[in-house]
Amino acid sequence: MKAGDQRYWIFIIAATALVTVLHFLVLARYSPLVVLEELYYVPLLLGALRFGMKGALAVYALVSVLYLPFFSGEWTASPIEMADRALHVVFSGIFAFTAGFLVDRERRKREQAERERYLTGVGMAATTIVHDLRNQLHLILGYGLRIQKGKGDIDASVQVMVDSARSMERIVDDVLDFARPVRLELKEEDARAIVGRVHELCAKKAEEKDVSLSVDLPVDPTPVVVDGEQIQRALVGLVNNAIEASDTGQKVILTVACRKTHLVIRVKDHGSGMDKETLEELFTPFFTTKKGGNGLGMSIAKKIIEAHRATIRIESRQGKGTEVTLTVPYKDRGETG
C-alpha 273/C-alpha 144 separation (Å) is 42
**Can you give the pLDDT at residue 334?**
42
Alpha helices, DSSP H, located in the chain: 3-29, 41-67, 79-148, 154-179, 191-208, 228-244, 276-281, 297-307
Contacts of 288 (CB under 8 A, 6+ apart): 294, 295
**Can you give the pLDDT at residue 135?**
83
Average pLDDT over residues 55-70: 89
**Can you give the pLDDT at residue 125?**
67
Query: For residue 294, what pLDDT band results from cuts at 50, 70 and 90?
Result: low
**Can you give the pLDDT at residue 337?**
39
C-alpha 48/C-alpha 96 separation (Å) is 7
C-alpha 303/C-alpha 48 separation (Å) is 33
**Can you give the pLDDT at residue 61?**
94
CA nearest neighbour of 59 among 25, 17, 88, 22: 17
Count the neighbouring beta carbons within 10 Å of the beta carbon of residue 274: 20
C-alpha 208/C-alpha 243 separation (Å) is 10
**Vertex 293, ends 201 and 240: CA angle to 5°?**
25
**Can you give the pLDDT at residue 216?**
92
Average pLDDT over residues 240-256: 91
Domain ranges for the chain, please list them.
3-110, 187-329
DSSP characters over 154-189: HHHHHHHHHHHHHHHHHHHHHHHHHHSPP----EEE
Stronger pLDDT, 117 or 147, i.e. the higher one: 147
CATH of 187-329, one of 3.80.30.20, 3.40.50.300, 3.30.565.10, 3.30.230.10: 3.30.565.10
Average pLDDT over residues 27-45: 72
**Residue 215, burial from CB neighbour count under 10 angstroms (0-12, 13-18, 19+):** middle
**Can you give the pLDDT at residue 86?**
86
CA nearest neighbour of 330 among 191, 137, 144: 191
- Residue 302 pLDDT > 80: yes
**Can you give the pLDDT at residue 296?**
74
SS (H, E, C) 47-66: HHHHHHHHHHHHHHHHHHHH
Average pLDDT, the chain: 84
Count the neighbouring beta carbons within 10 Å of the beta carbon of residue 207: 12
**Can you give the pLDDT at residue 290?**
66
